[in-house]
Structure 1
Amino acid sequence: MAISSDTTHDQPQPGRPPWEVTRSVWSALFVREFLARLMADRLAWFWMIVEPIAFVAIMIAVRVVVLGHDAQIAGAEFVPWMITGLLGFFLFRENMQRPIGAIEANQGLFAYRQVKPVDTVLVRCYLEGMTRSVIFLLFIAVGALIQLDLLPDRPVMAMAGWMSLWALGIGAGLTLSALSALVPEISKLVRIVSLPLLILSNVIAPLHLLPHDLLVYLMYNPIVHGIEYMRVGFFPYYEPLPGTDITYLWYWALGLIALGLMLHLRFELRLKAK
């Protein structure tokens, strides 16, 4: 009996499936990120809501005071048009920028072999996307109360545009988080290009006013396609920019996601040792 007992004890015990280990790691990282974001700054959630409101207020003031009249957007009111563009761009921007510091912030956790650098990036992107989605829903709810036309006419299309911008941001975040950990100067460059991207993504000023020869080059920006597609879902009579194609955005999104995952896989040991 003793021999039988020892033999049974010495047999290898089955471990948890990889997907279950990954789910546990992501759950723990999500709680860590959520609490860090909530407790790092008491006004963090406040500024997430105030930022787009401040942008809209400034743009309306500039339009009315400087030009002396309200902006005219074919098929949509100016304020809802700008709100949808700003929130869509902020979704992309935060998913692109926030993951850059995820690897360094969680460096101590890499002592556990179950935690990979890519896990910290994906969890941070998920948190950013969910946070921005909740804020967008709050804007829609408040807009309905004050009779602002923010209810999507085609909810599925509006959601598809939102998810496309989220996927594009995740791809950019995965790629830039790996590159910036290897070359720190890249993080500074990303912050510099954020403002030009805001201006060139049809967010605060309609690009259809530009000459066609220039517009052709600006349509290479995939963010424009996601924002325009989302606006078509919100406003039933809105005419998107010529050449708008959500498939083009997804080529960028899937390409960046694949590139980011390959970089994390190839340089995993270097990322852990940073």
Structure 2
Amino acid sequence: MLTRDASPERSPWEVTRSVWYAMFMREAISRTMADRMGWFWMVAEPMIFILIMVAIRSFIRSDGLIVGAPFIPWMVVGLMGFFLVREGMMRGLGAVDANQALYAYRQVRPVDPVLVRNFLEGMLRSLIFLLFIAGAAMLQVDLAPDNALLAMSIWLSLWCLGLGLGLIVSVLGTLIPEVGIILRMMIMPLLILSGVIFPIHNMPHWMLEYLLLNPAVHGLEFLRQGFFEGYQRVPGSSMIYFWLVTLACLALGLALHLRFQQRLIAQ
């Protein structure tokens, strides 16, 4: 029987929820307020890419290679989707080391900061995307999705892919520091090979087969189809393949955290 001063024991879910909430508030303050230029660069980075690509378009006329979608909105959607995956992966890279002091509390596990960081990054990227859609409407550029349900479901799917990759690299990057260096070197090639800034429809068939091994290509193609009803996807793109890879990444990432949890805490 409980005494007046006693409190009921909290369930594991209540403890986990409290941990995630505290870490979320800590990460949110650090991400948005610690750096005065943080919000600026989150918005400015895709804008700079867009301006550069618009300048390049005037020379190569790449908008004529895209069937069923205007070039600038097509590229904005691709950039936003790619940045969602990229940030989900890269924010997981330093999540374990950045929260090392918190592992002194037995309620906190190395997987917690990775999950919280990915959730926060997804919220921020979603907000920035909405700002771009609103800004485009003010400029009389149609960036609203033609199929909102499809667009939102694919956006959440890309979010899950970023989480799966973030779980994997958070373990590998902590145990093998060179992994972080390799990943940072791969970001720009991945940006190009994912069909973000240039259409890959007209690539040779043998090259397209290799490009389609990248799950981000599949996700971005379906995301664009959600925004542009008449858009012709790259032949061979499949959400079944995308989700098989995404689920494999999530399972592998969680398995690595379970297997190397003590080593991550002791780093």
Tell me the TM-score normalized by structure 1. 0.93
Aligned to 2:120: 127
Work out which of the residue numbers 17, 27, 33 in structure 1 matches 2:21: 27
Letter in 2 for 1:53: M
- Count of residues in correspondence between the two structures: 264
Distance 2:145 2:50 in 1: 19
Q: 1:230 to 1:15 in 2, by over 3 A?
A: same
Alpha-carbon RMSD across the aligned residues, in angstroms, is 1.4
What's 1:195 paired with? 188
- d(CA) in 2 for partners of 1:63, 1:230: 22
Alignment of 1:71 onto 2:66: no
Deviation of the 1:13 alpha carbon: 7.1
Q: Check the 8 A contact 2:62/2:198 in 1, yes or no.
A: no
Question: What's the CA shift for 1:14?
Answer: 4.8
Aligned to 1:139: 132
Find the aligned partners of 1:250 and 1:200 in 2 and give their Cα distance: 19
- Matched residues in 2 for 1:177 and 1:232: separation? 32
Secondary structure in 1 matching 2:22: helix
Give yes or no for the alignment of 1:253 onto 2:246.
yes
Deviation at 1:160, TM superposition (A): 1.3
Flag the structure with larger Rg: 1
Q: Which moved more, 1:242-251 or 1:110-119?
A: 242-251
Is 1:182 the counterpart of 2:175? The answer is yes
Question: Corresponding residue for 2:210?
Answer: 217
> CA 1:149 to 1:8, structure 2 compared with 1: closer, same or farther past 3 Å?
closer
For 2:193, the aligned partner's letter is L
Which residue does 2:41 correspond to in 1? 47
Per-residue Cα deviation, 1:34-90 (whole angstroms, up to 9, x for no partner):
1111232101111111111110110110121x33x4622110000000000000000
Amino acid at match of 1:95: G
Query: Which residue of 147, 153, 174 corresponds with 2:146?
Result: 153
Distance in 2 between the 1:70 and 1:271 partners? 47
Query: Structure 2: where are the runs of 5+ without partners?
Result: none
Following the alignment from structure 1 to structure 2, what is the Cα–Cα distance between the partners of residues 214 and 100?
Answer: 30
Q: Percent identity?
A: 55
Q: Which residue is 2:96 aligned to?
A: 103
1:171-207 deviation line (CA, Å, top 9, x unaligned):
0000110111111110111111111110000100000
User: Contact 1:99 / 1:177 at 8 angstroms: preserved in 2?
Assistant: yes
Q: Secondary structure at the match of 1:143?
A: helix
Q: Which amino acid aligns with 1:17?
A: S
Structure 2 residue identity aligned to 1:272: I
Does the C-alpha gap of structure 1 residues 170 and 24 become closer, same or farther in structure 2, counting only changes over 3 Å? Answer: same
How far 1:8 moved relative to its partner? Answer: 7.1
Which one of 111, 116, 119 corresponds to residue 118 of structure 1?
111
